Chains A and B, each alone.
Chain A
Amino acid sequence: MFLRMIRGAFSRQIKKMLMIALTIALGASLATAMLNVMLDVGDKVNQELKTYGANIIVVPKSTSVLNNLYEVEDGSATAGSYLKESELGKIKTIFWAFNIVDYAPFIEAQVTLPDGSGAVMTGSWFNHHMELPTGETLDTGIQNLRTWWDITAGDWINEQRDASENEIMVGEALAKRLGITAGDTLALSSGHADKTLSVVGVFSAGGDEDEEIFAPLGIAQEFAGAEGFCSSIEVSALTTPDNELAEKAARLGPGSLSVSQYETWYCTAYVSSICFQIQEVITDSVASPVRQVAESEGSILEKTELLMVLITILSLIGSALGITNLVTASVMERSNEIGLLKAIGATDGRISALILSEIMITGIVGAVIGYFAGIGFAQIIGRTVFQSSIEMKLLVIPVVAVLVLAVTLAGSIPAIRMLLRLRPAEVLHGR
């Protein structure tokens, strides 16, 4: 009989039930989309921010001490203190190796230009191919780390060509001063080397680098007289925003953590734990976060997540209000029927159960429609905002189910209260 009444109620007010289902579907779809995006957005935002450069810098321990003591800028205190080039591959063997997206070593050499003036030559990887100890391969270098460079003439140095050993790129300001462009040659000398190199590209970096010469790592090492060494490493890593534990580890050092805290910290991709792991594999090095980048990553991520939580909450409140209106209207429309059921002996509990069952069935239909629509919305958001698909998380299903249940029940409360107040004598006899 209960099922007959439910079925009858649906067949009689199918349009109203459809409206309730669509209202719930709207809330559920937004909740599904936002929760899926939110759970996937960390990686997406991180990936996006990686285009703004490295977020970890590794320098020799002695350089770090001098930098800390005299607060000097990078490069000015690095002479004579180096990291071993042979250890660079180890960075891709740390616990969070998968999160290391790109990295490149740097070495600076003072060179003399043909007009007798001096300039800084920076050696690095451009599109360096690596065979990792794990058997994997990696192509990395500043071509990925300096995505904002504008190549105004020529092209990037291609390390995969043999001729790249004698190629350089020149900053736009220096090229203009020397009157050279891509295709020209430039004779350079230092206390350690004397070479004529081909200019393959002129770049605009929008900063001090426009006055510099960029060369493959080997050439700069020759000019610096430091074969097999580099003075710093820039690392671009996917990181998790810092929390209290990460801040404690960064402030007081990993030694201040308990064993369980240490394990949690070490096994979470905090920028501080990745730095710690890099230090473990690079001899006498200090790895530190580039604070501005790391902090803005965390801040943007937190704000993005907060925005999504707010959108989810607002959409659910909207759904609850919609449900309230529709269910209340439905109960008012059915007041005669409800009054009659009470008159013939139905208790408030049984009538509430009947109405709630109708609404919950409608809610389930709405939730299923909303969930699948939400998956679609999530993909649209992923494609539009992050240019990639959003991975669907199973965790979202129970969360959305609970939210829909809560919102549907909350939205039905005013109608149920009205139903409980309904007196059969009033609706059946108008008194």
Chain B
Amino acid sequence: MSLLELNNISKIYGDLKALDNVSLKVDTGEWVAIMGPSGSGKSTLMNIIGCMDKPTSGEVILDGKDIAKESAKNLTAIRRDKIGLIFQQFHLVNYLTAVENVMVSQYYHSIPDEKEALEALARVGLAERARHLPSQLSGGEQQRVCIARALINYPEIVLADEPTGNLDEANENIVLDIFKQLHREGTTLIVVTHDPEVGEVAQRTITLEHGKILRDAKNPGFE
């Protein structure tokens, strides 16, 4: 059974059809890249998969349960328990240190554990920078803090929105190496990107255009 299944999802904003009858399945441990130009519906799709928005119509079955009609409160709980979010703009709390930013996610999930948060930072190569504020970290380091925060509660799906969009090549490679490591460990990854290089390293690429799936194919070069 698929971990995530979207059946005939549409999202309409006034006259704009951001998603038009989209259906797809993501299996556990799969690494999927969602690609497409600006306005193709990538972010809308990410918001729906990330339980931050609801479709106008269709089913979103996560872990065997349709969450499309869930209340905002229940969606918050699902997001907290099952989804790890990585953002293009990092979105770190700027008055908390790197380790505290990771612990915030634990705090709203269960109980903050500083040791575990430090281990998560060590996993993304930031053990030495744990006590630094976001303003004292480079873009790549901030993105790695964001990844550590997304992973700390062992989510079923890690959802990344343009994770390398604000990074230079060196940092982009670091982030992609982390994703490869996560995939090897069995983490389900959904990466929204417009960068072909990021899309190519994924196991499977889904291309969106005008709110519809244009192409859904396995990457032949996937290692």
Contact = CB atoms under 8 A, between A and B. Distances in A.
A187 B89 CA distance: 108
Contacts of B79: 343-345
Given A1-B112, A340-B91, A345 B73 contact: no
A342 interface: yes
A344 B85 contact: yes
B95 A9 contact: yes
Interface stretch (B59-67, B96-104, B168-176): B96-104
A344 B103 CA distance: 11
B96 A344 contact: no
Given A5-B104, A344-B104, A431-B44, A425 B93 contact: no
B96 A5 contact: yes
B10 interface: no
B77 A4 contact: no
B184 interface: no
A339 B105 CA distance: 13
A377 to B, nearest CB: 36
B149 interface: yes
B76 A345 contact: yes
Candidate in B76, B103, B109 with the most chain A CB atoms within 10 angstroms: B76
A429 interface: yes
A337 B52 contact: no
A350 interface: yes
Interface in A302-354: 336-337, 339-348, 350
A423 B54 CA distance: 12
B52 A345 contact: no
B53 interface: yes
Contacts of B46: 429
Given A5-B104, A342-B76, A350-B108, A428 B91 contact: yes
Given A8-B93, A345-B76, A423 B52 contact: yes
A429 B104 contact: no
A358 to B, nearest CB: 12
A343 B91 CA distance: 10
A14 to B, nearest CB: 11
Contacts of B47: 425, 429, 431
Contacts of B204: none
Given A4-B96, A336-B91, A344 B105 contact: yes
A12 B96 CA distance: 10
Contact of A1 (B53, B73, B107): B107
Nearest to A430: B43
B141 interface: no
Interface string B87-127: 10101011110001001111111001000000000000000
A12 B76 contact: no
A357 to B, nearest CB: 14
Nearest to B152: A344
B161 interface: yes
A355 to B, nearest CB: 14
B104 A1 contact: yes
Contacts of B53: 423, 425, 431
Contacts of B87: 428
Given A12-B94, A337-B93, A341-B104, A428 B52 contact: yes
Contact of A431 (B43, B50, B85, B103): B43
B80 interface: yes
B104 A11 contact: no
Given A4-B96, A5-B96, A431-B43, A424 B52 contact: yes
Contacts of B43: 429, 431
A429 B161 contact: yes
Contact of B77 (A340, A345, A350): A345
Contacts of B149: 344
Interface string B156-167: 000001000000
Nearest to A11: B95
Given A12-B94, A12-B95, A425-B52, A345 B108 contact: yes
Contacts of B81: 345
Of all A-B residue pairs in the complex, the 4 with the closest CB atoms, nearest first, are: A345-B80, A8-B95, A12-B95, A425-B52
Interface of B: 13, 43-44, 46-47, 50, 52-53, 73, 76-77, 79-81, 85, 87, 89, 91, 93-96, 100, 103-109, 112, 149, 161
Given A340-B93, A341-B108, A431-B53, 9 more contacts: A1-B112, A4-B96, A5-B93, A8-B93, A344-B80, A345-B77, A348-B73, A424-B52, A428-B89
20 contacts: A1-B100, A1-B112, A2-B107, A5-B93, A5-B104, A8-B95, A8-B100, A336-B91, A343-B85, A344-B108, A345-B76, A346-B76, A346-B108, A347-B108, A350-B108, A424-B52, A429-B43, A429-B46, A429-B47, A431-B47
